[in-house]
Structure 1
Amino acid sequence: MQPIRWLSPDGPDPRTDVQTTPLSPEDPAQIGGFELLGRIGQGGMGQVYLGESPGGEPAAVKIIKPSVVDSTSRLRFAQEIDILKTVWGARIAQLLDADADAEQPWLATEYVEGPDLGKHVMTHGPLPPLLVLSLGATIAEGLGYVHKQGLLHRDLKPANILLGPNGPKIIDFGLAVFAESSASLTAANTVVGTPSCMPPEQATGVKPLTSAVDVYALGAVLLFAATGHLPYHANNIHVLFHMVTDPATAPDLTGAPPELVPLLTAMLSHQAQDRPTVTEVVQQCRALVEAQGLKLAQARRRLTTYTVAPPQEFPTLLPAPAPAPVAQGAAPVLPSPSDQADAPLPDESPSAPAVAQESAPDGHPTMFLTTPHQAPQGEPPVQSESATPAPQTAQDEKDARKAQDGPRQSRPSGRSPARSLRHSAQARRTAQQLREAYAARAAF
C-alpha cells in the first residue's frame, strides 16, 4: 500500500475577524468591480480580502495567487464556483460573483461579520450545553440543504463555521464534491482535508463518500464547541492518522456534558452506517432542548445573543445564593444582562413576570451580578442617595444634617458609617458596567 500524502484544504477560509491587515503593495486595489479594503485571511493557494461592491455591499473576496495559477488550480477553482452556485440556504454564506477565467481567478461571497467557532471557543471558552445543541441543530439543518443538492461539504471544522449577527453560517466549499461521484481532482493516494475532523473512511481514501462524512465532522465540531478539544489530537500526523482510522481507539469525549455524550458518541461512530442522518441530528437536538422547557427557536436566539456578546464582556458572574429578603431602602441586585445563556429571556414565556425569577425552567440557576467587595458582618447594606430612608427620630434627623454640612470628624463608638455610592469607586465602576451591559442588549 502506498503512503497517503496529506494536503491542507485548498485556499483560505473567507472567515472574518473584526480587524483586517492593510493591503500590501502587491495586492490589487480592486478586482471584478469589488474594491479591496484589507486582508482577512490567506492559504496555500490564495488570499482572502474584505471587499466592497460598487453598491456598497461588503464581501469576502478570494483571489488565487499568481504563483499557483495553472490548469489544475483553475479547474478546482471553477468547481468551487459551480458548487457555490448550487448550494443555498440561510446557513450558507452565499456566492455574490466570480470569474474562474480571469487572469487572477476570483470569487466573492457574502461577508459574515463575526469570528469563526474556533476563535470564539479559544477566546471565550466552550459553549453551554443548550447552545451546543442549538448550534448542532442549526448546522445539521444547513448541511441537509447541501446534501439535497447531491453535495458533500467534506471539510467541516470549527474554522469553517462563522458566528455572525444572524446566526452561524457554513463557509468554504472548496473541497465539496458530488456525493456519488468517484471522480477527483486530487492525485491518487492523496487525502485532502483536516485530519482531526475527518471520519475514518475519508482518512483512508474510501470512495464514494456519503453524507455520513459530514455527520462525523459535525460531531467533531460539536465536541469542540462543548469542550474546547477535538475527538483525536496528537503532535505527529502519522499518530493522528492511526488514531482516526483505528476502530479500537475511541474518540476522546473528556469534559463533554453527560446529556450530549450519547449524541456525540453516535455521530463519531467509526462505521458510517452507525451514525445518525442530519435529519436525525436535528430531531435529537430538538428533543434535548425541549426537555429543558424551551423551543429550539428560543435556543437559537440565545446562541446568537451569546456569541455576539459573550459573558466575558460583562461583569463577573457567580451562581445566585439562596433567595434572601431585600433590606428596606436597599437597591435590589439585578440579573446580569447577559444572564447565563441557558436562562429564559423575558419574552420567551407567556406567563413570565416582569421581575426575573429565582430559577430558570431549564434547571440552571439564574446568575446575578456581584462585586468583589462584600460588606463586613454587621455593616449596613450599600445604599444610594435616592434609596436612603427618611429620618425616623430627632437624633436621626440631627445626624443627617451633620452629614450634609460636612465630613464627620469622629465616628460614634460601635457603629460603622453607611457609605454612599457616590463615594465608592467600585460602585461607580459597577454602575458603568451595568449601563454598558444593558446598552449592548438594548433593541434600539
Structure 2
Amino acid sequence: MQTTPLSPEDPAQIGGFELLGRIGQGGMGQVYLGESPGGEPAAVKIIKPSVVDSTARLRFAQEIEILKTVWGARIAQLLDADADAEQPWLATEYVEGPDLGKHVVTHGPLPALLVLSLGATLAEGLGYVHKQGLLHRDLKPANILLGPNGPKIIDFGLAVFAESSASLTAANTVVGTPSCMPPEQANGVKPLTSAVDVYALGTVLLFAATGHLPYHANNIHVLFHMVTDPETAPDLTGVPPELVPLLTAMLSHQAQDRPTISEVVQQCRGLVEAQGLKLAQARRRLTTYTAAPPQHFPTLPTAPMPRNAPLPASVPAASDPATTPRQDESPTLPMVMDGPASDGRPTMRLAAPQQATPTETPVYAAPTAPVAPSSEDEQSPRNAPDVPLRPRPTGRPPARSLRHSAQARRTAQQLREAYAARAPF
C-alpha cells in the first residue's frame, strides 16, 4: 500500500502503535501505517475526530467484533482495538502491496489464467467468512490487497450477519459502492444473502480482466438505475471468452440465478485445470506476477558486448511470466536478459523452462544496493564492476521487502548469472 508522510495534526502514536505514515482515508476514518512495540507492522484505523459520535462508535465497535469473528488466510487479521478510547481505533495486519484497483490501473488487466486464480482464492476466502454467518457487503477492487503471500480481503466496516435484518444505516439509505453493488442491495432488500458477495466478486473479477466495472455513469442516480434495471445488462466488453459464462452467471440480476461461492471456486478450478495446470501453480503465478509485474522486474545497466558474440546455450528465449511455471514447478522459471528497455537498458524477463542444479545457493541483496558476489563471482577479475539493481517502484515502505523469499533469492542469482554470461570479461 502506498504511504504518505504524516501531517502536523496526526498523532505520533495510537494504542501503543507508533505511526509512520498515512495509508488512506475515507469519509469517517483515517488509516495509518503503524508499528507495534515489538516491531510488527500494522494498518491502524481511527475515526476522524469530527465524526466521533454514538452512532459512529457503535458502527466501529461492530466492525471490531466482526474482525474478531472472521478468520482465514485471505483475511487481514485483527491485531488490537479499542472502541471506547477517546479516539476509537483498531489495528489489523499490514499487507505490503497495492490494492487490485491501483495495480490494474498501473499495469493493465490480468491475464485470464490469473483472473481465474484470483477468483478461486478470493471465493475460498469469502467462503470462510460466510461460514461464520457473515457477509462482507462492500467487496470491490480497492478492498483487495495484493500482498507478497497472495491477495487479502480488507475493510469489514459494512459487514453484517447474513440472517439479520437489523442495520445501523438510517432508513431509506443504502451504504456501499454502487458500481460493485448487486441489485437487491441497491434496492435496500433485507435480509441479504451470500449472493451479494458473489455478485460483488464478479465485479472484482470483471475489473481484473478488463479494467472496467459492469456499470459506469457520471450521475449517481443514473448508475443506481442501471444497477437495478433488469433490462440493462452488465458491460462485459473485453472479457476473455473463457471467462464470459462464469462472469455472466455471477452478475445475474436475480440472486437465485448466481452460483454459490463454493461453485465459483470449483468453476475457476475447472477452467484452470483445463489449461493443464493445478490451481496451486496458478496461485503462485498470480503472486509472482502481482509482486513484480513485467515492467517492474529489475533491470541491469548495458554492458559492452564483443561483436558477433553468441548467447550461451543455457539462456533460452523469454516468455510471459503469467504463463511460465516458477522454479519450484516443473518446468522451472529462470530470468534472462531480453533486449533493451525503453531507457536503453536490457530488461530482465521470465524465461522458458530450464532445470536448476541441486547445488545452487542463491543469495539476495536488497534492490537498492549492489548485488553481493557469489562464489562464482569471486573467480572473476578483481576490477569487475558491481551490478546495481534498480530501486523497487515507489509506493511501498523501503524497509519492508521480499528479500527473504525463495523467489527473490532465485531472481537475484539468475540476474547475476545472466549478466556474467554477456559480460566482456
Is TM (by shorter chain) over 0.5? yes
Is 1:241 matched with 2:224? yes
- 1:344 deviates by 2.6
Which residue matches 1:136?
A: 119
Q: For residues 294 and 97 of structure 1, do their structure 2 counterparts lie closer, same or farther at Cα, with a shift above 3 Å needed?
A: same
The one-character-per-residue Cα deviations of 1:15-43 (angstroms, maximum 9, x if unpaired) are x22xx222222111111111111111111
Which residue matches 2:237?
A: 254
Which residue matches 2:356?
A: none
- 1:330 deviates by 4.6
Which residue matches 1:94?
A: 77
Does the aligned pair in 2 maintain the 1:152–1:178 contact within 8 Å?
yes
Is 1:60 matched with 2:29? no
Which residue matches 2:58?
A: 75
SS of aligned partner of 1:114: coil
Does the aligned pair in 1 maintain the 2:198–2:261 contact within 8 Å?
yes
Is 1:348 matched with 2:329? yes
The one-character-per-residue Cα deviations of 1:385-429 (angstroms, maximum 9, x if unpaired) are xxxxxxxxxxxxxxxxxxxxxxxxxxxxxxxxxxxxxxxxxxx9x
- 1:347 deviates by 3.5
Pick from 338, 341, 351 the counterpart of residue 369 of structure 1: 338
Which residue matches 1:24?
A: 7
Is 1:127 matched with 2:96? no
- 1:283 deviates by 0.2
Which residue matches 2:347?
A: none
SS of aligned partner of 2:30: strand
SS of aligned partner of 2:199: helix
Q: How many angstroms apart in 1 are the aligned matches of 2:408 and 2:283?
A: 21
The one-character-per-residue Cα deviations of 1:204-260 (angstroms, maximum 9, x if unpaired) are 000000000000000000000000000011111111111101111110000000000
Question: What TM-score do you get using the length of structure 2 for normalisation?
Answer: 0.77
Which residue matches 2:411?
A: 442
- 1:439 deviates by 6.5
Is 1:334 matched with 2:298? no
Q: Which amino acid aligns with 2:160?
A: V
How many residue pairs get matched? Answer: 346
Does the aligned pair in 1 maintain the 2:326–2:333 contact within 8 Å?
no
Gaps of 5+ in 1: 1-15, 317-326, 357-366, 374-427
The one-character-per-residue Cα deviations of 1:132-185 (angstroms, maximum 9, x if unpaired) are 000000000000000000000000000000000000000000000000100000
SS of aligned partner of 2:174: strand
- 1:335 deviates by 3.7
Pick from 265, 270, 274 the counterpart of residue 291 of structure 1: 274
Q: How many angstroms apart in 2 are the aligned matches of 1:145 and 1:84?
A: 13
Q: How many angstroms apart in 2 are the aligned matches of 1:315 and 1:341?
A: 17
Is 1:230 matched with 2:213? yes
Does the aligned pair in 2 maintain the 1:116–1:161 contact within 8 Å?
yes
Does the aligned pair in 2 maintain the 1:334–1:369 contact within 8 Å?
no
SS of aligned partner of 2:32: strand
Which residue matches 1:302?
A: 285
Which residue matches 2:203?
A: 220
Gaps of 5+ in 2: 300-307, 343-384, 393-406, 414-425
- 1:441 deviates by 5.0
Does the aligned pair in 2 maintain the 1:157–1:221 contact within 8 Å?
yes
Q: Which amino acid aligns with 1:166?
A: N
Identity across the alignment (%) = 85
Q: How many angstroms apart in 2 are the aligned matches of 1:199 and 1:90?
A: 26
Q: Which amino acid aligns with 1:334?
A: P
Pick from 105, 120, 135 the counterpart of residue 152 of structure 1: 135
SS of aligned partner of 2:242: helix
Q: How many angstroms apart in 2 are the aligned matches of 1:39 and 1:170?
A: 19
Pick from 83, 91, 95 the counterpart of residue 108 of structure 1: 91
Q: Which amino acid aligns with 1:266?
A: A
| RMSD between superposed Cα atoms in Å | 2.6
SS of aligned partner of 2:146: strand
SS of aligned partner of 1:50: strand
Question: What TM-score do you get using the length of structure 1 for normalisation?
Answer: 0.73
The one-character-per-residue Cα deviations of 1:72-95 (angstroms, maximum 9, x if unpaired) are 000000000000000000000000
Does the aligned pair in 1 maintain the 2:285–2:321 contact within 8 Å?
no
Pick from 167, 183, 187 the counterpart of residue 200 of structure 1: 183
Does the aligned pair in 1 maintain the 2:140–2:200 contact within 8 Å?
yes
Q: For residues 207 and 334 of structure 1, do their structure 2 counterparts lie closer, same or farther at Cα, with a shift above 3 Å needed?
A: same
Does the aligned pair in 2 maintain the 1:314–1:433 contact within 8 Å?
no
Is 1:168 matched with 2:151? yes
Q: How many angstroms apart in 2 are the aligned matches of 1:113 and 1:340?
A: 21
Does the aligned pair in 1 maintain the 2:186–2:227 contact within 8 Å?
yes
